[in-house]
Amino acid sequence: MQTLDPSKVVDTVSSDMISNSNEGLYRLGKNSKVQPGIATKVKVSDNGLKYTFTLRKNSKWSNGDPVTAADFVYSWRRTVAPKTASEYAYIFEGIKNAAAITAGQKPVSDLGVQAVGKYQLVVTLERNIPYFKLLMGFTPFFPQNQRAVEKYGSKYGTAAKYMVYNGPYKMTGWSGSNLKWNLVKNNQYWDKKHVKLTDISFQVTKSPTTSYNLYQDNKLDETYLNAEQAKQLNTNKEYVSLKQARTTYLEFNQTKKEFQNKKIREALSYAVNRQQLVNKVLGNGSLPAKSIVSKDLALHNGKDFADTAATTAGVTYNKEKAQKLWKEGLQELGVKSLSFSLLGDDDDVSKSVSTYLQSQLETNLPGAQVSVLNLPKKTRITRSTTGQFDVVISGWAADFSDPISFLDLFTKDNSYNFGKWSNAQYDKLVTASKTTDVNHDTQRWNDLVQAAKLLSTEQGVAPLYQVAQAQMLKSKVKGVVYNTAGVAFNFKNAYVTQ
């Protein structure tokens, strides 16, 4: 885990924990259907630019404070404030003045969110946002208790005890760096009668072998599997492969001369056999990426976005083409060889992927010298955000079921554009999808398809695979809601049979 601060979260594990120990206007139910959270009803203006939410009066924080409209106003303002430096500030764009505030051009008080009394929240948009209700079930839009933020100061969200909770569970046992923690039933939660579990225990093991042994000894009810385990156990009745709206990709540091060279980037991408990667290294049901956008995320007229946006450029294996581009790229740089580091996480899967990529690149590209650096996730994220890498294995899980959740990342000024790729036409297409074409479904779709194709053909990043997580889950565990996009796991209605 990285943090419990909704304004600072960037990783999926932290987001899942925050989303089960806190609650926004909505919760995400099965198949990403929005369900009532703090909001009991909503009124939308005729032009779709004003949402008036009525909040329930029986929702409390774990410190006893009522959850009010002011908590949403405070939270949203805190996230978009430049001094917070939230990686997710960009996702508020479209709410009145959000972009101007994050750019430092307007005060946070100008954000289009207002508390009318204690239990009415009014949100004003600058433009229609087709996926607005889905956003309201996503972690950065959750309320925050101002008293707690100010009480804990810089420690807020850095450990379980420096936090207050308004969700089905409370976090306990997380010190900020340890590898075990718990979600414990929150007796202040407004809907506690439907929360059946009293305690969910989590532990991080760097080795799937260790965790599978614990699973076999009935000390765990759920465990992730590595490739070899997945191959051996995929006929077991308790085996589950969860496809995710998550793409793993290579990101190149394009502040460096060698990676500003398109042919070098293309060569590195063409040198990787993605089918072999998912079959032999992962073996968990993951799919070779067709584009940066995952399959089964979005449909238009019955066609999947990933299929429509698929290209051969940027996502396929072609050794001969890779070597030709590599040779030309090196000549343009005036060198005969290229040494660079490949940054990744330090879990077993990431290490296996890193080793495979190192082998592919050094074998297929004469003169490529690749050093692998596997670091704890928290450290890898810090290095990514500060540009301390050559090539990094990045991953993105969609925040909601729309292609823009992926494509927004690679616009010029997006805080998640770690490699600093920049393309004016790409930015123009993404902007059009959110402004001039936002109310025209087909044109908006076409904008995003063209943007995805452009990202691949220009090799802004190199998509590798769509993640599927192989796991074992005891058949006695019921009621866990899993979604591919946004908050992955919703444990609110989970229970265990005898």
Q: Are residues 25 and 81 in the same domain?
A: yes
Secondary structure (3-state) at 200: strand
Distance between CA 42 and CA 26 in Å, rounded?
A: 11
pLDDT at 19: 96
Residue 236 domain-assigned (yes or no): no
Dihedral (Cα; 253, 256, 257, 263), 10-degree rounding:
-10
Which range of residues forms the domain containing residue 306?
Answer: 245-469
pLDDT at 32: 81
Q: Indicate left, alpha or beta for 437 from its phi (over 0: left) and psi (-120 to 50: alpha).
A: alpha
Q: Are residues 478 and 431 in the same domain?
A: no
Q: Are residues 289 and 329 in the same domain?
A: yes
Q: Are residues 124 and 164 in the same domain?
A: yes
pLDDT at 488: 86
Q: Are residues 490 and 440 in the same domain?
A: no
Q: Are residues 55 and 174 in the same domain?
A: yes
DSSP characters for 380-418?
HHHHHHTT--SEEEEEEE-SSSSTHHHHGGGSTT-TT-T
Q: Are residues 296 and 327 in the same domain?
A: yes
Task: Report whether 109 contacts 28 (CB < 8 A).
Answer: no
Q: Are residues 480 and 429 in the same domain?
A: no
CATH code, 482:
3.90.76.10
Q: Are residues 267 and 145 in the same domain?
A: no
Q: Are residues 487 and 453 in the same domain?
A: no
For the chain, list residues with pLDDT below 50. Answer: none
CA angle, corner 307, sides to 305 and 312, nearest 5?
125
